[in-house]
A and B are shown apart, each in its own frame.
Chain A
Amino acid sequence: NAGVTQTPKFRILKIGQSMTLQCTQDMNHNYMYWYRQDPGMGLKLIYYSVGAGITDKGEVPNGYNVSRSTTEDFPLRLELAAPSQTSVYFCASSYSRDGGSDTQYFGPGTRLTVL
Chain B
Amino acid sequence: GQNIDQPTEMTATEGAIVQINCTYQTSGFNGLFWYQQHAGEAPTFLSYNVLDGLEEKGRFSSFLSRSKGYSYLLLKELQMKDSASYLCAGGGSSASKIIFGSGTRLSIRP
Interface residue ranges, A against B (CB under 8 Å): 31, 33, 35, 40-45, 48, 50, 56-59, 90, 94, 96, 98-109
Query: Which one of B33, B45, B96 lies within 8 Å of A45 (CB-CB)?
Result: B96
With A42-B103, A100-B30 already in contact, the answer to whether A50 and B95 are too (CB < 8 A) is yes
Interface residue ranges, B against A (CB under 8 Å): 4, 8, 30-31, 33, 41-45, 48, 50, 87, 89, 91-98, 100-103, 105
**7 nearest CB pairs, A to B:** A106-B42, A42-B100, A99-B94, A100-B92, A43-B100, A42-B102, A100-B97
Please state if B42 and A41 are interface contacts (CB–CB under 8 Å).
no
Please state if A99 and B93 are interface contacts (CB–CB under 8 Å).
yes
A31: chain B residues at CB < 8 Å are 95
Residue of B nearest to A44 (CB): B100
Residue of B nearest to A31 (CB): B95
Please state if B102 and A100 are interface contacts (CB–CB under 8 Å).
no
Query: Which one of A44, A100, A103, A105 lies within 8 Å of B95 (CB-CB)?
Result: A100
A57: chain B residues at CB < 8 Å are 96
